Each structure stands twice: as C-alpha cells, then as structure tokens.
Structure 1
Amino acid sequence: MTANEAAHEGAHPGTHEGATVLVVEDEESIADVLSIALRYHRFRVMTARTVREALALTERAGPDAALLDVMLPDGDGRALGRELRARRPDLALVFVTARDAPAEIVGALGLGDDYITKPFNIDEVVARVRAVLRRTLPHARTSSRGGTPTAADVLPQRPPLRYGDLELDETTYSVHRAGRTVELTPTEYALLRFLVRNGGRIVPKDQLLRHVWQYEHTPAESTVVETYISYLRRKLEPLGPPVITTRRGVGYGLA
C-alpha cells in the first residue's frame, strides 16, 4: 500500500504519536494544511509565523521536531534552525522551501535532518517527520505522554463552519453531514473546508491546487483535484443529495 492509499483509508501508522511538531510558516494556507495532516496523524502541533514566535514557543513548550520555512518575514529559517538546535540539541529539523538548487539543499542538510521542496506531497511530509523522529527521538519518550498540557495542546476554540447540512469542526477536524460523522483524510478535509469557506462560489481548479496542494503553477496534466472531488462525493453523497457541483472547464463549488 502506498503512503497516499494508507492516508486515504484513515490509517494512523507509526510509533511517534504524541510527539510535538513546531510548524514555522508565514503562509497561512500552507501552515493550515501541514497542521491538519500532522494532527490527523496524532502529532501535537504548534504553529508560528515568525522567528520571534518560534523562539518564544520553543521556550514555553519544547517541541520534538520543527518544520521550518527557509524564508520568513523577520529572518532566515536556516539561522532559526541553528538557534533552535543550540537550545535543543536533540530537536529534529526539517526545512520546507521553494528553493531547490543543489547548493541550497546541501546547505540546509548541513544544518538539519531533512529538506522538502514546495510543492510537496502532504503524506510525504508526514512520513519524513516520522523518519527523522525515529533517528532523533527515543521511542520511550513519545509512545506515551501525559501530565500537564503544553502550549501545543491548547487549541483556540473556533465556531464550526456550516454550509447546508454540512458542519466542519475546525478544532477537532471532524466533519458531519445531517448529523452523521464523515471520516475524511487531511487532504479531503482541507479541500472540503476550502469549498465551504467559499460558499456557493465556483472555485477555479488552479486556485484549489494553489491553496490545498501548494502548486504555484498548475501542471496541465494534473488530475489530483478531480480525484479528490470523487473521493468527497463518494463519502458525502450516501448521506444526502449531491452537494458538490462541477463547472466544466472552470472548477468546483457547493450546491
């Protein structure tokens, strides 16, 4: 079974449930997708948009791993990585960036444990985080965590998103239709949430690719949107009338 298939079937593989990951990313849509996927796979997640926020969070509640964007509003992610490692030598570092020149990759790997380029496959990101944690963090430390909640456990309460008989809980990442639970993968959830946030508007395919899959330039041959729309329809339509509409040659929306 591939990583995509495992995620699509709702599997939670791995032995590092409960490990805390610090996501440092100033683009809200990317931080959102990363947070959804990591929490879905039972990681605790802290998010920061700047170097200052990341350092403050690390002092308050030390993470086990950090996903760092290289280009941040108030500094360089690589310099932040050096500072975090100085404070926490056992911290796993994974850099996430659009820069893919060999020199950039070699330089980042000299500072951290892994390097992921945008656009990325979200299941690959989760797999790489698990892989670096296997190398840097003893299983005993993450197999069971209890005690006092940390900053990573305290999530802001958000009102549910509603559209028709759909309800999305943005704190627990759960979905209900007509009062019944719908089990979605992180990518399916992110896609449905973006459609719900846009109400009855038809969302162009390239916009969905940019916000859900982080594609800056739409691959002409890409069928990933169509594939995931079919996944959503398969899960939502048994619970009610068709809710996702297609505007051929344009995009998708909610009925």
Structure 2
Amino acid sequence: MPLTAPRILVVEDEPVINQAVTERLQGSGYDVVQAWDGPGAVALCAETSPDLVVLDVMLPGFDGHEVCRRIQAQRPVPVLMLTARDDEADILVGLGVGADDYLTKPFRMRELVARVAALLRRVERAAELADRSPAPLGDLGDLHVDAASRRVRVGGDEVHLTPTEFDLLLCLAGSPGTVLTREHLYAEVWGWSGASGTRTVDSHVKALRAKIGAHRVRTVHGVGYALETGTSA
C-alpha cells in the first residue's frame, strides 16, 4: 500500500452527487477534495495537484470540457468525465480535450470506484512500461512511436496525443497488423475488463484516428481493431 493515499478531485455542481461520490471514494481509501464549478476546479487542481479528477461536464462558470482543457495545460492528469448525455459527439469532445474515460449518468458508485482504480493503475503501468522500453518502437510506415519519450510522429510531424490515446496506440503498435479485440484493448489500456467498456474503446479509436489518420487503424466489425503500417488509405 502507498504511504500516501491517491488524491482525487471531485468536480460536480450537484451537492448530493458531489457528496455521495466523495464519501464513496473516501470509503475506498482515497484522499478527496471537492469543487463545484469550473473556475474553482481549475484553481483547486493547481493548488492540490490531484492524482485523478472526476469531472462533470455541465458546470457553472465554464463547462467540464474547458476545465479539462485548462488542467491538462497545467500538467497531465487522468480525468474521468461524467456526462448526462450518452451522445457520441459530446463524448468525443471530452476525449479530444484530454479526458481518459467517461461514465454516463446515472451510474453505479461501484463502477465509478472501479474506473478510478483502473485509471490510477494505468498511470502506474505506463510509467513501468516507459522504464522497461527505453528504445523507440521504431517506424511503422511513416508512423513513428517512441515509448520512452511518449512521442508520436506522422510523416515527420509530431502529433499530440492524450495519455490514453498514446497507451491505446502503443498497445496496437505492439502487434501491428494483428486484430485486437475491444475487450482485450480495454483490459490492457484501461485495466478494467467488461463489455461496458467497448464503447469507450470505440470512442478513443475515433479520437485517435482523427489525429494519426483514419486509414491507420482498421476496423474488423464485430471483433476489434488493428494498426496498419501503410502510408496511404
């Protein structure tokens, strides 16, 4: 067990939900700080340096997407976004500004705690992977993935990926051309097994394609995804 409990920032303007999430996370052994609006969340994140943020989309001041954009500009931090709308466009916006995962309201507290634990484990695994992989993976066509520096170049141009997008690409790049199931990707990248995560994988793949090129990740319908190494669609 770590000497210091991971710190979680809970950002939710509904007092009942904020307190319920806070108490459940505290009961699971986390150190929790609370914010109720956009500006307060950004300020508290800078002040307390949380290990993870649970972030509602709809907030006073400015919304969760803007909060996520601002806190990721301060320093990379895992973000679990809470959304009242199961709308793919909204979810992709959240992923595009740096969210790592999302839950649609209403959600079960047990699943929220499991997602939080999985995201924190993913951060630990990413650090371990970087330690074990000092050398770049090399060139996959004109796609260059460097595990140690966590940098990606496409055709010589550097591409900015969120931590989760990079881990997803790294997982696919480990077996180029091989079809990996959604369940396998969710277990490997998010550290959480279950069919409920397959839409999370699909959404992240769409966000990843928008950055590295849609033709680079092949869909095998009903199965999963494979990284292609060709340079054209």
Question: Are residue 101 (structure 1) and residue 87 (structure 2) matched?
Answer: yes
State the partner residue of 1:46: 33
1:161-214 CA distance string (max 9 Å, x none): xxxxxxxxxxxxxxxxxxxxxxxxxxxxxxxxxxxxxxxxxxxxxxxxxxxxxx
Q: Could you tell me whether the CA contact under 8 Å between 1:16 and 1:139 is conserved in 2?
A: no
Q: Distance in 1 between matches of 2:21 and 2:105?
A: 12
Give the C-alpha shift of residue 76 in structure 1: 1.2
Give the one of 59, 64, 72 matched to 1:72: 59
State the partner residue of 1:236: none
Give the C-alpha shift of residue 59 in structure 1: 2.1
Q: Distance in 2 between matches of 1:64 and 1:79?
A: 19
Q: Distance in 1 between matches of 2:100 and 2:4?
A: 20
Q: Distance in 2 between matches of 1:94 and 1:16?
A: 24
Q: Distance in 2 between matches of 1:53 and 1:135?
A: 27
Q: Distance in 1 between matches of 2:124 and 2:70?
A: 19
1:58-100 CA distance string (max 9 Å, x none): 22211010011101011110111011111111x1101001011
Aligned Cα root-mean-square deviation (Å): 2.2
State the partner residue of 2:147: none
State the partner residue of 2:7: 20
* Uncovered stretches (5+) of structure 1, i.e. residues with no partner: 1-13, 141-255
Q: Could you tell me whether the CA contact under 8 Å between 2:11 and 2:41 is conserved in 1?
A: yes
Q: Could you tell me whether the CA contact under 8 Å between 2:39 and 2:67 is conserved in 1?
A: no
Distance 1:139 1:114, change over 3 A: closer
- TM (norm. structure 2) is 0.50
Q: Distance in 1 between matches of 2:40 and 2:28?
A: 24
* Uncovered stretches (5+) of structure 2, i.e. residues with no partner: 128-233
State the partner residue of 2:108: 121
Higher RCO (C-alpha under 8 Å, 6+ residues apart)? 1
Amino acid in the other structure paired with 1:67? V
The number of residues matched between the two structures is 126
Q: Distance in 2 between matches of 1:106 and 1:114?
A: 11
Q: Could you tell me whether the CA contact under 8 Å between 2:38 and 2:64 is conserved in 1?
A: yes
State the partner residue of 2:20: 33
Structure 1 vs Structure 2: percent identity of aligned residues? 41
Give the C-alpha shift of residue 57 in structure 1: 1.3
Q: Secondary structure at the match of 1:116?
A: strand
Q: Which has the larger radius of gyration?
A: 1
Q: Could you tell me whether the CA contact under 8 Å between 1:16 and 1:130 is conserved in 2?
A: no
Distance 1:15 1:79, change over 3 A: same
Question: Are residue 135 (structure 1) and residue 117 (structure 2) matched?
Answer: no
1:141-172 CA distance string (max 9 Å, x none): xxxxxxxxxxxxxxxxxxxxxxxxxxxxxxxx
- TM (norm. structure 1) is 0.46
State the partner residue of 2:75: 88
Distance 1:99 1:38, change over 3 A: same
Alignment map for 1:226-237 (pairs within 5 Å): none
Distance 1:103 1:15, change over 3 A: farther
Distance 1:121 1:16, change over 3 A: farther
